[in-house]
Structure formats: C-alpha cells, structure tokens
Structure 1
C-alpha cells in the first residue's frame, strides 16, 4: 500500500503568522503606557501652572506632566516606554518578521503622540491668553516631540542593530530609568518629610545597567569597543546635561531672561560634569560593572569550550 504524503497548506499557516506579527502593535502601545506608569499612578492631574487663568480648581487629567519643573520626568516617561518596546522587540526577534518592527514602532509612537497632543491641548485651553503662554506650551510640546524621536531612535537601535548599535540604544534607556524609578518611589508633586532610603540607589541605576549592557554586547570588535567607550561618555555627560537643563528651566528667577537662564544652565552643567565627586562615580560604576560582567562572560565561554573528560 503506497504511503500517503501530506503537504502543509500555506493558506492555513499564513493567518497565524499575520496574527503573531500584528501582536507587535498592541505590544508597542502597552510599552508606551508602561513608560507613563509613574505619572498615571499619581492620578495624572495637571501640575500647577504659573500662567493658569483663574483659580486652579480641580487639576484636569493629562497624560503627561507638562511643567517646566518636570522636564526630566517627561523625558523619562517617553524614553522608558520606547526602551521597553525595544527590549521586547529584540527578545521576540521582531527584526526577523516582516513588518513587525514597524508595527511595534507605530504602537509606541501613536500612544506617545496622542499623549503629547492631549496634554498640550488641555494646558493651552486653561492658560492665560498671551505670547508668554503660547511660547510655554509650544516649547514643552516641541521638547516632548523631540524626546519621542529620541525614543524612536533608541527603539530601532535595540531591535534591529547589531549588539554594538543596540548598546547605544540601551544606554539611552538606562539614563532615563533613573528619574523614572525616582518618580515611582516619590511620585511627582508629593511632599516627603524624609526621603525614602531606596532613593539613594537611583543614581546608580544608569551606570550599573550601562555596564551590564557593555558586558552583554562584548568588546570583541572595533565597533563594539567604540560603542563601549561611547556608552561611558554618555553615562558621564547625559545626566549632567539633564541636570543643567532641568535646573535652568525650573528657575523662576530667570523666567523672563533667556540669556541669564542659558548661562545658569551652562554653569550647572559644567559643575555636574567636572566636579570629581559627581563625575567619577558613574564612570567608575560603569567600568567596574562592565569589567565584572565581561569577566563572568569570559569564564562561561572558557567552561563551554573546555573539553569534557571522557569516562573510561
């Protein structure tokens, strides 16, 4: 009796692949919402606005904390959401499925742009009419859109780039995780008589994660070595830059003097960048974590390569 042969019907497997690919769209949206978690957990009431028209009353619901005092938090909420999507995309090999990366990206960007638009419209509707209020809303909106683009770059690097390129995307996310975690521990706008002990650990999040990312990527090629050096530089410079920008925008004394505000921000940036007590800690933490991770990776590789004794 001749054996029967069965062939797989391609029309039956194609829909399954489509469903799996389309799942990256809600994954991206969920990651974007996850990034906003520290703000949404507070109830997402609009922070007090210096230019608010009339009595503050009940704070309207906004998806982002538009305020000159929350610039670093806005950046953290958007970038961490993009990073989460990037890590999920790389873990699930989105780069190997046609269109999966694009769907993941659309899920993130649509949610984040909706959040920016909803917040900007709500804030603009409640502010006093005038040039100063317009500049305020436009500035925060443009800054938020720029951060969305930074997150897009980080996501694409993590999902599609070789390990050296993915390392750069990971360190961008690691920088944002510091203020993101701080906002989880001490919600924005809350008053704490004594800061929680866990808050002491947040400055170490970026350098430790950056060092771990260097160990994951390795340093066995010129490109990866360059990426590792760039990672250390980013861990050193980015927090100082964020501190300078946040300090300048959050100082009401210079609100009507952009030149003085810029000078103040540059001075704060220089101090945060060059004072040894502040600059050396993240650099050393990154290098030490990377060295330990690379050492562990080397030991594991040697064990796997060593010949196993043959039983007689």
Structure 2
C-alpha cells in the first residue's frame, strides 16, 4: 500500500510532516549547534582574544594575545558560566517551541550539538592557554582550576537543554530559576562588549540587578499555583534566586583575588565569608525575592481574571 493510500485510509498519517519526521535529528542537532554558537558570541565581540594573563610567560599587549574561542581568565569566571549555559537554555527553549513528535530524542540531539560546539571551543582555548602559560605549580593550579570550571559549566548547559525542552511547565520553570542569573550576565556581556564598561549607562546596571527577579516572577506566573505541588517549584525558584547570585559573588571574589591565589584554605575561608554576607539580611536579596513573588502572584491573578472573563462570554 502506498503512502498516499495509507493517508487516505488514516487521516492521522496525512497530518504528519514527513520532512520533520525523517530529518528531526539533523534539525535538532543544528538547533544545538546554532544555539551554542549564539551563546558564545558575546565573548567574541571584542575580538575573540585570550584575556591578559597574570601567569603568561611573556609580557605582551592585549591586542597581541592569541585567538581564543573562550575568554579564559580568573576574572571572567561568571562570564564563562554565562557563555556556556545560555546556549543550552536557548537550545532547550527552541525545542520546546518547536514541539517535535519525538521531543525527548530531539532534546538529546540538541544536547549533542551544544556539546560539540562547547568541546571544540574548550579544546582550542585550553590548548592556546597551555601553550602560553609559564611553568610552575601555580600555573598548573590555575589551568586545571579553569578547566574544572569550564567542564562544570558545560555540564550545566547540557542540563539546561533538557530542563527547557521538557513538556512539563514545572520543569521548565525550574530551568528559568536556575538560568535567570546566568542569562542576565550574558546580556550584560553584550552591553559591555558594545558600550564598554566606562560608557555603560547606569540604567543598564539597574535593570540587570532586577532582571533575574523579573524573569523568575514571570516564570512562576506562567507555571501557576495548581496543582498544589507546584508550590514546591515556587519555593525552589525563590531559593535559586536567593542563593545563586550569592554563590556567583563569592566565587568571583575568591578567584579574582591575587593575594591568596593558590592558598586553598584561605580561599575557602574568604569564599565562606563572602557567601555568608551575600546571603545575610544586608545582602540585598530580600527585595528581589519580594519582586519575584509579586510578579508571580500578579500574573496568576491576571490569568485567573482572564479565564473567568472568557468563561463568562461563553
């Protein structure tokens, strides 16, 4: 029996799109590749060169540093996390919006595309870094510390693909909670790359401060409060909004200092002190949490009113 005869006898077959049914792995793979490349673009705006290194073997000017797909530096840790995770979130979101028949398989093909791009970028960048660093224990500690951070960031980006591609609203909402701060950092990389730190308007910095809370609040409104178990999602996202920026602040403070570089006990002590301060009442998290809850509840109320209005017109 031909495909046309089967479609005539079974209308469901005629509704399928053979092109996407057959080629969805390639499409999903390309989505992953394109999204990962898009995630790395803010790091290339200023020329895709390796940042100046404290442990570089030779003294050079910034424009003499070699080409690098990743801005490997202890001062760019948060930027690296943003570059390597935002692409994963974008790939997962694209799969969710696409809604392929084989969504789970498509998500894993997208994971493969993201991993391919990030692997190539990491290998090229670390080969370049390793070839220019001076020798010694501190240089090795620096190299492998950055490598561990990049591997963890790549893994987080792959998790983001699966969270955002999920059919479950609750799961995707958790993905937004985890990615709100990295995505904001990613957008700030665009702003800094275009305007530079000196010319960056103060309004941009203010928006960046409140944007994670706004993103989390909108995702909570979209998620809703029913069934009641979604309250767990609300609680977790608020915890993410409270803890993740504090962890980022502590991490950047520790790895960005040269005074105690390589002294693990002192670095851990400093990290604990900064983290405790950032999580405390003076850390400023209270206002952002209130904004997220306010936006979420307002969104839920608006949806409820709209649903009642629609029901009343029927």
2:49 paired with 1:51: no
Structure 1 residues 105 and 256: CA distance shift in structure 2, 3 A: closer
- How many residues get paired? 303
Residue 204 of structure 1, aligned match among 195, 203, 210 = 210
From 107, 126, 147, give the equivalent of 1:101.
107
* Separation of aligned partners in 1, 2:77 and 2:195: 13
Distance 2:134 2:245 in 1: 33
Segment drifting more, 177-186 vs 233-242: 177-186
| CA deviation profile, 1:157-180 (whole Å, cap 9, x unmatched) | 221251112211121221211211
Q: Which deviates further from its counterpart, 132-141 or 67-76? A: 132-141
Q: Bigger CA drift: 193-202 or 73-82?
A: 193-202
Is residue 229 of structure 1 aligned with residue 235 of structure 2? yes
1:42 and 2:14 matched: no
The 1:6/1:253 distance shift into structure 2, 3 A limit, reads: closer
Equivalence map 1:119-134=2 (5 Å): 119-134=125-140
TM-superposed deviation, 1:185: 1.2
How far apart, CA to CA, are the structure 2 residues paired with 1:203 and 1:265? 22
Displacement, 1:199?
Answer: 2.0
Runs (5+) with no aligned partner, structure 1 = none
CA distance in 2, matches of 1:6, 1:256: 69
| Residue segments in structure 2 that go unaligned for 5+ positions in a row | 8-12
Query: Are the counterparts in 1 of residues 107 and 161 from structure 2 also a CA contact under 8 Å?
Result: no
Q: Is the 8 A contact 1:95 1:159 kept in 2?
A: no
Match of 2:251 among 245, 249, 266: 245
Deviates most, 157-166 or 28-37: 157-166
Q: Which moved more, 1:242-251 or 1:218-227?
A: 218-227
Q: Does 1:185 align with 2:191?
A: yes
* Greater displacement, 172-181 / 77-86: 172-181
C-alpha contact (below 8 Å) 2:95/2:103 kept by paired residues: no
Aligned to 2:5: 7
User: If the length of structure 1 is used for normalisation, what is the TM-score?
Assistant: 0.90
Q: Return the alpha-carbon distance in structure 1 between the equivalents of residues 37 and 200 of structure 2.
A: 30
Give the aligned partner of residue 308 of structure 2: 302
User: TM-score, normalised on structure 2?
Assistant: 0.89
The runs of at least 4 consecutive aligned structure 1 residues that moved more than 3 Å come to: 12-16, 94-98, 188-191, 193-196
Give yes or no for the alignment of 1:139 onto 2:145.
yes
Partner-residue secondary structure (3-state), 1:33: helix
Aligned with 2:80 (options 49, 55, 74): 74
Q: How far apart, CA to CA, are the structure 2 residues paired with 1:200 and 1:66?
A: 27
Q: Which residue of 2 aligns with 1:264?
A: 270
Q: Distance in 2 between matches of 1:274 and 1:295?
A: 31
Maintained 8 Å contact 1:154/1:168: no
Is contact 1:95–1:101 with CA below 8 Å preserved after alignment?
Answer: no
Aligned-residue CA RMSD (Å): 2.3
Residues 84/301 of structure 1: CA separation in 2 closer, same or farther (3 Å cut): same
Shift of 1:304: 2.2
> For residues 94 and 77 of structure 2, what CA distance do their matches in structure 1 show?
26
How far off its partner does 1:231 sit?
A: 0.2
| Mapping 1:261-300, distance limit 5 Å | 261-276=267-282, 278-300=284-306
Bigger mean CA deviation after superposition, 74-83 or 55-64: 55-64
Matched, 1:217 2:223: yes
CA contact under 8 A between 1:46 and 1:66: conserved in structure 2? yes
Counterpart in 2 of 1:149? 155
